[in-house]
Amino acid sequence: MSLNFDVTRVREHFPSVIRPRAPIYFDNPAGTQVTGAVADGVRDYLLFDNANHGGAFATSTRSNAMVNETRAAMADFLGANSPDEIVFGPNMTTLTYGLSRALGRTLRPGDEIVVTRLDHDSNIAPWVALEECGAVVRWVDVHTEDCTLDFESLAAVLGPRTKLVAVGLASNAVGTVNDVSRIVRMAHAVDARVFVDAVHFAPHGPIDVAELDCDFLSCSVYKFFGPHLGVLWGRRELLERLPAYKVRSAPDAPPDRFETGTQNHEGIAGTLEALHYLEWLGNELAPAPVHTRRARLLAAMHGIRARERELSHALLQGLQAVPGLRIFGITDPDRMGDRVPTFSFTLAQRTPLEVATHLASRDIQAWNGNHFAMTIMETLGLAQSGGTVRVGAVHYNTHEEIDLLVQALHALT
């Protein structure tokens, strides 16, 4: 695929990005901006199709059809075998806690759960909670020099009692992309299941659950240009077998058995529009017409990945030129394919809050703190000093915006 990325046309889809006096959005790791069509989809659903599930009347019928179509589109986005493997929920954290609770009912005292020190706490705390069921939690260490997982540490904690390995596809704190396929092979070799937190990777590149060969995967739509909604994918045979917590009248087949209560239908409608945007982008980037939704979505995400590798190089070069600035994570220019354009850093003689406040005064949005990745911040020795400043680009960001960020940081030195 030849990359013909027209960032001006891309940005036209995002009203908040191009409005007069718009800020520069480098707070994307905590949630991206939405397209105008996403906002219209939420509005139109509420005004014209707002109804509960399963009615015989027109608005309910249309609402059901929209939910089914979005489920099918999400299956294509993730490379799932069936829409029935797609579960919607309030957010990734809630869905993960629900899944961990269900898995907890299958554990015996002494069974082991593996988590990593690189992950967001929403992929740690729900699994650590299984200690209440008698589970033993094992930890995978991190190479602090580049914030990558220590595979020798992983091999050391895997064994016959391992039941689940929880790992992130990309770190929301430092941008590392993990070799999940390798992790899955190692876990499956001891007959353990693998849960993948793909929340941070989803806006940055293609996801294929069949290629990863994982057992469960979660993501959050508001991280890839849509509304606040969580998505869980699971192998159908596992979703059918797990003892889900549900009300008595709920269907006992996936995905319904894991979707407790009335869903956020307007958010689901907005999700469909976010996926329609990515289909448009895929058509724009593909060298020839593509005739399936999966192919269009893949073309979009491969194009985004290529575009963002350029942005990663520009961010790395610009940040490294700031005196006293220290980046945590992969900094080898030849390894930008091993990270996403999310950079955490500290600046000498300045607290992360001071830096973020200074950037905000220049209408540059960036986060400071632990980014809900407390364990990696503790591992790096940053927990007591305010964590890091975190800036993250997505495909609608520009090189000019990176230049303004770097200029603002120079003004602090």
CA distances from 186 to 157, 158, 160, 209, 379 (A): 11, 8, 12, 16, 24
Reading the block at residue 87, the tokens are: 């579960």
β-pairing, 142-143 vs 148-149, is antiparallel
Over residues 177-197, the pLDDT tens digits come to: 999 999 999 999 999 999 999
For 360, list phi and psi in degrees, rounded to 5: -60, -35
Q: Looking at domain 40-274, does it have CATH number 3.40.640.10?
A: yes
As a whole number, mean pLDDT of residues 288-304 equals 95
Confidence band of 319 (pLDDT split at 50, 70, 90)? very high
- 8-33+300-410 shares its CATH topology with 40-274: no
86 Cβ contact partners less than 8 Å away, ≥ 6 residues apart: 71, 74, 75, 78, 80, 231, 232, 233, 255
pLDDT at 246 over 70: yes
pLDDT at 2 over 50: no
Please count the other Cβ atoms lying within 10 Å of the Cβ belonging to residue 230. 24
As a whole number, mean pLDDT of residues 262-276 equals 97
Please count the other Cβ atoms lying within 10 Å of the Cβ belonging to residue 236. 16
Fold (topology level) of 8-33+300-410: Aspartate Aminotransferase, domain 1 (3.90.1150)
What's the rounded Cα separation, in Å, for the pair 339 and 175? 5
Residue 1 has what pLDDT? Answer: 38
As a whole number, mean pLDDT of residues 216-232 equals 98
361 Cβ contact partners less than 8 Å away, ≥ 6 residues apart: none
- Full-prediction pTM beyond 0.85? yes
Over residues 328-355, the pLDDT tens digits come to: 999 999 999 999 999 999 999 999 999 9
pLDDT at 4 over 80: no
What's the rounded Cα separation, in Å, for the pair 211 and 193? 15
Look over the chain and give the mean of its residue pLDDT values, rounded to a whole number: 96
What's the rounded Cα separation, in Å, for the pair 247 and 149? 40
Over residues 102-112, the pLDDT tens digits come to: 999 999 999 99
| Residue type (1 letter), 391 | V
Percentage of residues in the chain having pLDDT higher than 90: 93
| Residue type (1 letter), 403 | D
As a whole number, mean pLDDT of residues 68-97 equals 97
* Lowest-confidence region among 172-186, 209-223, 239-253, 343-357: 239-253
Using N-to-C axis directions, what is the helix angle for 293-320 and 265-285, rounded to 10°? 80
Residue 64 has what pLDDT? Answer: 96
Total count of residues recorded for the chain: 413
> In the chain, where are the structural domains located?
8-33+300-410, 40-274
pLDDT at 248 over 80: no
What's the rounded Cα separation, in Å, for the pair 229 and 199? 11
